Amino acid sequence: MGRNGDAERFLAISREVFAPLYPYYAARFLAASGITRGLCLDAGAGPGLLGLAVVEASRCRVVLADRSPAMLRAAREEIATRGLSGRAMVLGTDVSALPLAEGCVDLVVSRGSVMFWDDLPRSFGEIRRVLAPGGRAYIGGGLGPPAMRLAICREMAGRDPRWRENAPPPPRPGTDPDTQAAALRAAGIHDFTIDPDDAGHWIVFGK
């Protein structure tokens, strides 16, 4: 399948299979951080479903950042469909070189993107740079609580032979917590946690 086909398949899965994950994690991160307003950055946003869920559950505005033109087009469509043009914008950029001012972001979220980042230390360092004092970052992946994970795995098993009905495929090399912890320390970030989640984990740090 070519790149356009891959993008269309990814978007279909995000919207049709993974859709329950985004409001679940948005509510979880907002509650954990205590952040209710300000600027959110969805780093490696894809079609922006997590960042837009944050906006819909709070008074935040959001920047949906991705380096893929196809994902940026999809994010613009999502913004328009949800009527959020006044509170959301897209930004074509790599996470390792964010064209944002230091300390301007209150909340960073990113689900399922970190595995594709080419330079983890630079990307983590950029995220910390743009975080405002008191800001929080939640980076990683997961499939929600057990019942949600099971439903997603069963649906994905019918679409992708790498999935099983009760478990996702093995993680990509380099996405293990030890590798990511070393990259965080290389970025000068030492006050962080890596919290296990059902079928994944989340990196959490602040400023």
Sort strands 192-197 and 59-66 into parallel, antiparallel or unpaired: unpaired
What is the torsional sign of CA 85, 91, 95, 99? negative
| Counted domains in the chain | 1
CATH number at residue 185: 3.40.50.150
Q: How many CB atoms are located within 10 Å of the residue 91 CB?
A: 18
Residue span of the structural domain in which 196 resides: 3-206
Mean pLDDT, rounded, for 79-86:
97
Nearest residue to 52 (alpha-carbon basis) of 3, 17, 4, 90: 90
What interhelical angle do 49-56 and 69-82 show, nearest 10?
20
* pLDDT for residue 172: 86
Q: For residues 94 and 106, give the distance between their C-alpha atoms in angstroms, rounded to a whole number.
A: 19
Secondary structure letter of residue 79 according to DSSP: H
- Tokens, residue 32: 């954990």
**pLDDT tens-place string over residues 125-176:** 999 999 999 999 999 999 999 999 999 999 999 999 999 999 999 988 889 9
Question: How much of the chain exceeds pLDDT 90, in percent?
Answer: 94
Q: For the chain, what is the mean pLDDT?
A: 95
**pLDDT tens-place string over residues 2-41:** 355 688 999 999 999 999 999 999 999 999 999 999 999 9
